Amino acid sequence: MIEYRGLDSVEPEPNAVVSVGTFDGVHLGHQRLIRRVRELARESEGRATLVTFEPHPQLVLRKVDRPSIKVLTPLEEKRELLAELGVERLVVLDFSPEFAAIGAEEFVEEVLVRRIGCAAVVVGPDHGFGHSRQGTIDTLRMLGSRLGFRVELVTELLLQGEEVSSTAIRRILTRDGDVKKAASFLGRYYEVRGTVGHGAGRGRELGFPTANVLLETPHKLLPKDGIYAGYAVVGGKKLPAAINVGVRPTFDGGHRVVEAHILGENVGELYGTPIRVLFVERIRDEVAFSSVGELIDQMKDDVRKTLQILQEHRGSLVEQEER
């Protein structure tokens, strides 16, 4: 996959098939749309081209009195997923208030047609573009007939009676912590990435050493606080792990952390190592215990449940994809 940061280095390609969006999560709905982009690109003998934005537009346009959006897939993660899906050209546009002020017609004419080039544009059902998302699918079709490109609409994808969308996945993760349902919408386990850093050392003192994950970006969405069964991927190895997301209330709380108790691995040897933490299933809420002994007993049960859950998930479609 060729990546362009900004428009200056992009070579226009008249036969390209293009889709535009944030593609946050690169979920199953996005994947279906990308498959259609690739099919049309083969037919037109052009290249499958995606246009996305960095940072996420809602980080730039959010109102002061509203909380900042958290993203499912920061750019590095998104880039890897799109390459795996067969995207041939990725154009990353710097999103700013000035860029947001570009009108719908100008965006299509100057960006998609003149600078990137396109034979077709593929969009989802809720697609909007240009200043304040004033451009609609009908607008795009009108411009396509005038400027010489076709427009194809990919309909919404429903799972469990719910539309698969980035917004739905964020809600599932933050409100319910239902990482199992999120994985069914994503087609893979939800994950966070970072490096292993030093923590307070309490896990080691309790006999449950943890890898403390220093996140790559503060804008990454974390699941609801709680204990999860999952995996830690370090040094090319995918290891079972009991994962804690939260503030460690038994020890008076603090800032939110992600800690992975990696089963059968010496965490002390991992400091400074890149780590991916994959969430498979939620076990329980994070709670404050009245004694350290009570906490230790619960952690032993968490480890037992983690191993049981991971055993049950072997052979699942998501597990096969992760391999």
Average the pLDDT over 52-60 and give the result. Answer: 93
Same domain, 12 and 139: yes
Which of 156, 180, 209 is where one domain is finished? 156
Average the pLDDT over 124-146 and give the result. Answer: 89
Same domain, 219 and 107: no
The amino acid present at 91, given as its one-letter code, is V
Residue 112: inside a domain: yes
Same domain, 195 and 117: no
State the pLDDT at residue 170.
98
Pairing of strands 150-153, 120-123: parallel
The mean pLDDT of the chain is: 91
State the pLDDT at residue 251.
65
Counted residue by residue, the chain has a size of: 323
Same domain, 141 and 201: no
**Quick one: how far is CA 140 from the chain centroid?**
27
State the pLDDT at residue 123.
96
DSSP single-letter state for residue 129: B
∠ at Cα 29 (26, 30), nearest 5°? 40
State the pLDDT at residue 205.
60
Check: CB of residue 231 under 8 Å from CB of residue 238: yes
Same domain, 152 and 203: no
For residue 72, give the CATH number of its domain.
Answer: 3.40.50.620
Same domain, 26 and 133: yes
Average the pLDDT over 41-46 and give the result. Answer: 96
Same domain, 304 and 202: yes
Same domain, 250 and 132: no
State the pLDDT at residue 133.
82
State the pLDDT at residue 90.
98
Residue 129 burial by CB count (10 A; 0-12/13-18/19+): exposed, middle or buried? buried
State the pLDDT at residue 247.
86
Residue 99: inside a domain: yes
Confidence of residue 280 (pLDDT cuts 50, 70, 90): very high
State the pLDDT at residue 199.
72
For residue 202, pLDDT over 90 is answered with: no
Pairing of strands 190-197, 17-20: unpaired
For residue 312, pLDDT over 90 is answered with: yes
Map residue 68 onto helix, strand or coil: coil
Same domain, 143 and 59: yes
Average the pLDDT over 186-205 and give the result. Answer: 84
For residue 283, give the CATH number of its domain.
Answer: 2.40.30.30
State the pLDDT at residue 270.
85
Average the pLDDT over 156-160 and give the result. Answer: 93
Which of 156, 182, 217 is where one domain is finished? 156
State the pLDDT at residue 221.
98
Higher pLDDT, 65 or 130: 130
Average the pLDDT over 156-182 and give the result. Answer: 96
Residue 185: inside a domain: no
Residue 15: inside a domain: yes
Same domain, 260 and 134: no
Map residue 92 onto helix, strand or coil: strand
Residue 176: inside a domain: no
Work out how many domains the chain is built from and give that number. Answer: 2
| Domain span holding position 316 | 190-322
For the segment 4-31, what is each residue's pLDDT rounded down to a tens digit?
999 998 999 989 999 999 999 999 999 9
Higher pLDDT, 82 or 160: 82
For residue 226, pLDDT over 90 is answered with: yes
Residue 316: inside a domain: yes
Residue 71: inside a domain: yes
For residue 150, pLDDT over 90 is answered with: yes
For residue 317, pLDDT over 70 is answered with: no
State the pLDDT at residue 233.
96
Residue 252: inside a domain: yes
State the pLDDT at residue 36.
98
Q: What is the dihedral of CA 206, 211, 217, 221, to 10 degrees?
A: -60
Contacts of 166 (CB under 8 A, 6+ apart): 22, 24, 25, 27, 72
Check: CB of residue 280 under 8 Å from CB of residue 231: yes
Question: Whole-angstrom Cα distance, residue 126 to residue 140?
Answer: 13
Confidence of residue 255 (pLDDT cuts 50, 70, 90): confident
Please state the pTM of the whole predicted model: 0.93
Map residue 8 onto helix, strand or coil: coil
State the pLDDT at residue 264.
78
Of 107-121, 125-139, 215-229, 293-307, the one with minimum mean pLDDT is 125-139
Average the pLDDT over 119-135 and give the result. Answer: 87
For residue 249, pLDDT over 70 is answered with: no
State the pLDDT at residue 168.
97
Same domain, 15 and 152: yes
Same domain, 130 and 7: yes
Which of 156, 172, 203 is where one domain is finished? 156
Higher pLDDT, 203 or 197: 197
Check: CB of residue 223 under 8 Å from CB of residue 256: no
